[in-house]
Structure 1
């Protein structure tokens, strides 16, 4: 199936009605915890997925001391802590501040920046998008008005290889030689590469102005009603950024990273079902840095010869391993909306060419982008595999067929 499907239901009762919101964004963060069936949940924004060795240690320690002992890698390369005990919010915040993971209390939920995870490491790409990440993050946190962005608003920074350009960003930057394409909705402009982070911030400003004018409470660009288009040209001009229109720009399309060696000084591994235990986090070390990816993996700046050691620790290190490309929502018992323990089923998924995502309800939280196999719990003990009714006893065979024949 195609990932044009949204993980969040439409807010109106009829599909052809315009979206109108009368409430604020309740997306969880590091300071705004979400109550789940398995305790409280915190979502830590990690721009570009980037963590230092010290911060990896901190996450492992926090997961053990305050949570359920693990860290989930989200489809935006962020980190989630689950099973947090009631009343631990202040202690959690203090630990995150101490570790440099909470640079702004007012902007912590808007630091949603996905970037090409291998940028600057493997010799591919036209620019080091991770350098753009650092500058854009500082600009975001330094702009008081940017705190009005939704916790769902997404910046995507592609180094030109096309691995993240198609991940549905509200603002997308794509490197091309010494220039960058900045795109919002169907509008795009070419700017100098050095101006790319400032151009992304200006594009966010254009969205907020369009959303205020629309008055429908839009959180994302695609939610703006017809006729309310972000004024990207004006925003770039106000920021003093020289730009030229890009007519019918085509975003590059490249494959996600495959687990294994990444150049001479890094390796890429996948987190089993998108979740790392504290022990697996520590097993990544020593490392100059790690980067969580939107495919629920981790780029580790370390000697690739350590891959067998990482595999022994339960991490997925080969593209043909059974756990490669398999993801699932939280499922039971952690989520009250889930109809089944989908993670248990996902753990038995056979290997295959296409990604597969197991969902406990029709929201399909955390589903991948692109083409993927959809496994949906129905509530009667059985499943739908790409819409076809499938008894639970036949699930492995149906998933294997769907992953290899489409």
Structure 2
């Protein structure tokens, strides 16, 4: 992540909140120019808004657009005209006209929220209320620009591994819908700390955020930092809510769903189409093309996903093949068996001063070396910060110098990237090791 804001010469485009995180109002510097992050409400991007992002990337930057692992978009390579870029994005309805309100719009949903066949609860109405709460409550603007909330409706297509400061997951218990919740974790880790009736979901979010701000010191920007000095029991006791914490709640576990997010994805009615830009990078033409397909064959909307990809909901089944052909012709990945669909890479040395390798270019080379049957996801990270992936991938290649990597395999018993399986590997050596069955890597 970039280190410092670019110097601004127009007061309305300057965020007064100190942070190294890019935002709509805070353009931060990198080796390849400025970065502007567009935080989308629950990942939702209307087709006209997609066109506006594409135009802004072409007019005011180098045309590079990235899909992030928090279901947002960011424009890279921005030049000096910050004012007109931001004004154009605001005119398209892509953020509030207040920097502090924009910073706290960190709310993740399933890209098929409200449409997934496995849905326990359509969380979109609650998501709208939570976003209004975050944006409209001045006190909550004190939260870090990284402080994040997840609403999980029980969808089959859901990211369950990304850590959040607060997560809520719909559950059925005693013929009633509840919201199980956890702190400083994710629905997939099994660390449920309580539950409230679904009707109290907004009150729970308000209480947790308020309690955090009551207790956290200035150096405790994230929930995990606070919980190093405050027990979960103490935190919950001060919420002022009747939180259910019996064995049925604390023993509940979120069941993982279907992990397929590329190609045709079933909905409650009809089908959605999952597509991915290679290594998370879109050109303006790719984004415009996706918007065109969403209008012509879908409902005119796109959903960003936490897999650095896009979902086009409500595609007419008779149009699926034509839509895939159109998008594939633009260079977008439409099938999970595409070699690059199994690789994730950070910006790398071409755009980030901290990176030890050109991870994007190396990933393209590695794609030809890693066969089918290798770990489901291989993550190339230019440094230990792991900006491209918020959770630990099955396999991680950590750059140590240009073209050379250390190989780790995920191991729940170990911290960080997992078990170190090879050091100072060339791409050919890494590809050969990843081609081996997992049991051989364990030798």
TM-score by length of 1: 0.85
SS of the aligned residue for 1:54 comes to helix
Q: Does 1:322 pair with 2:344?
A: no
- Counterpart of 2:250? 247
How far is the alpha carbon of 1:293 from its aligned partner? Answer: 0.6
- Counterpart of 2:356? 339
- Counterpart of 1:189? 194
- 1:124 counterpart (118, 122, 141): 118
How far is the alpha carbon of 1:318 from its aligned partner? Answer: 1.2
- Counterpart of 1:165? 160
Q: 2: CA distance between counterparts of 1:234 and 1:328? A: 42
Judge conservation of contact 1:187–1:232 (CA < 8 Å) in 2. Answer: no
Q: 2: CA distance between counterparts of 1:336 and 1:207? A: 34
- Counterpart of 1:16? none
- 1:234 counterpart (234, 238, 248): 238
Q: Does 1:101 pair with 2:94?
A: yes
- The 5-angstrom pairing of residues 340-355 of structure 1 reads 340-348=357-365, 349=367, 350=370, 351=372, 352-355=374-377
SS of the aligned residue for 1:347 comes to helix
Q: Which runs of 4+ in 1 moved over 6 A?
A: 402-406
SS of the aligned residue for 1:266 comes to strand
- Counterpart of 1:204? 209
- The 5-angstrom pairing of residues 17-166 of structure 1 reads 25-86=19-80, 88-105=81-98, 106-161=100-155, 163-166=158-161
- Higher RCO structure (Cα 8 Å, ≥6 apart): 1
Structure 2 regions of 5+ residues with no counterpart? 3-16, 185-190, 295-299, 409-419
Judge conservation of contact 2:375–2:394 (CA < 8 Å) in 1. Answer: no
Q: Does 1:259 pair with 2:258?
A: no
RMSD of aligned Cα (Å) = 2.5
Judge conservation of contact 1:74–1:366 (CA < 8 Å) in 2. Answer: yes
- Counterpart of 1:299? 311
> How many corresponding residue pairs?
378
Residues 1:380 and 1:57: Cα distance change in structure 2 (over 3 Å): closer
How far is the alpha carbon of 1:85 from its aligned partner? Answer: 0.4
Structure 1 regions of 5+ residues with no counterpart? 1-6, 9-22
- The 5-angstrom pairing of residues 371-382 of structure 1 reads 371-379=393-401, 381-382=403-404
Bigger mean CA offset, 368-377 vs 223-232: 223-232
Q: 1: CA distance between counterparts of 2:197 and 2:439? A: 43
TM-score by length of 2: 0.79
